[in-house]
Structure 1
Amino acid sequence: MERSKVGIMRALCDRQDPSTKEVDDLMIRRFLRARDMDIEKASALFLKYLAWKKTVLPKGHIPESEIANDLSHNKVCMQGHDKKGRPILVIVGNRHNPSKGNPEEFKRFVVYTLEKICARMPRGEEKFRAIVDLQGWGYSNCDIRGYLAALSTLQDCYPERLDKLYFVRAPYIFMTAWKVIYPFVDTNTRKKIVFVENKKLTPTLLEDIDEAQLPDIYGGKMPLTPIQDSH
């Protein structure tokens, strides 16, 4: 059933955009799953993605020189993997300051991050985990427009890549921002989001991540590595 839908969708999209040939069946399957196996909706999303990719990733990657400001704040780290081999992102919320950034650069930074985490996935794995650490997050870090742009990129261009997203150490004021963002989170993504209580932080993360792979700031043994320094 799933395989036949992949074939139908591939043929349909190939007629409209021959670059469909360059993607594997797993990608087409992810777009189908993101639209509950509805070929028409999945094809529309996928064709939109192909057009987006030609514009945003003409070189196939985002050069670090184009996102130097965002990289300099070390706001995203990447190291370790969960018990199933999925790579882990750690996003440090209080290192993002929209007043000192450029919205277009931030969008490119999001794409750079997603491309890099996807490239880190071992063969046969399609998903990653993310920890969003909001300790010390305040209004100067709040960037609704940036968050919505990042969410849109994740959901529309990298569907079914996120396995689980943990919000940790979230201050009460973050919930004000979350109420604005939440309606834009699609149903599939909502199921993957967990707010972790402070007192259950380490045990919750250890359910899915071995101590050796868990970042040291959460009681594990893995030092945080800024994404641009991780290999």
Structure 2
Amino acid sequence: MILWFLKDRKFYVKEAVKKLTKAIKWRKDFNVAELTEEAVKDVAQTGKAYVHDFLDIYGRPVLMVVASKHFPEAQDPKDDERLCVFLVEKALSMLPTGKEQMVVIVDLRGFGTENADLKYLTFLFDVFYYYYPKRLGEVLFVDAPFVFKPIWQIAKPLLKSYASLVAFGWI
């Protein structure tokens, strides 16, 4: 675990330790060790996100997100957060020897304004930036509708260099 933080901070030990300490505290406060399939069963049954059974062609676990099934007004944001962290942990547990990153594929078919959730996007950024650094290899947005463009324009500057991990594709 410490290697992720060292790489993220370009082996500047003081900064890596600071970030790692924050992550350890967060893991304890968030009860990451207690997240189980049973604990996230209800929100997982929505089909909004899951870890694919197979690795991608580069040997990375694939976390699939179906954005049209995310309704922030109808769902408890804490349940969504727990599902996210559970799935990240599950994907990381599938990493083959020598691999360190996962890929996230976000299916945006059917995405509308009712699915937009900037608060959750902020949570996702924090998760990958602060608590799982260097674990996200690529994010693929599939079939992004016109309504997604302004959301991306707001989110992109917040991602800084991480925005380079994002690619768009169409089926």
Give the TM-score normalised by structure 2. Answer: 0.91
- Shift in CA distance, 186/79, structure 1 to aligned 2, threshold 3 Å: farther
- What is the identity percentage for the equivalent residue pairs of Structure 1 and Structure 2? 28
* Kept after mapping to 2: 8 A contact 1:98/1:141: yes
1:5-16 correspondence to structure 2 within 5 Å:
none
Runs of 5+ in structure 1 lacking a partner?
A: 1-26, 202-231
- What is the distance in 1 between the residues matched to 2:38 and 2:119? 23
More helix by share: 1
Please report how far the alpha carbon of residue 32 of structure 1 lies from its aligned counterpart in structure 2 after TM superposition: 1.8
- What is the distance in 1 between the residues matched to 2:55 and 2:117? 28
State whether structure 2 residue 169 is matched by structure 1 residue 191: no
Runs of 5+ in structure 2 lacking a partner?
A: none
Alpha carbon RMSD of aligned pairs, Å?
1.6
State whether structure 2 residue 35 is matched by structure 1 residue 66: no
Task: State the match for 2:13 in structure 1.
Answer: 39
1:129-140 correspondence to structure 2 within 5 Å:
129-140=103-114
State the secondary structure of the residue aligned to 2:53. strand
Larger Rg computed on CA atoms: 1
Please report how far the alpha carbon of residue 134 of structure 1 lies from its aligned counterpart in structure 2 after TM superposition: 0.4
Aligned structure 1 segments of 4 or more residues deviating by more than 3 angstroms:
none
* Kept after mapping to 1: 8 A contact 2:63/2:91: yes
1:51-90 correspondence to structure 2 within 5 Å:
51-57=25-31, 60-77=33-50, 78-90=52-64
Please report how far the alpha carbon of residue 91 of structure 1 lies from its aligned counterpart in structure 2 after TM superposition: 0.8
* Kept after mapping to 2: 8 A contact 1:79/1:89: no
- What is the distance in 1 between the residues matched to 2:145 and 2:10? 34
* Kept after mapping to 2: 8 A contact 1:132/1:166: yes
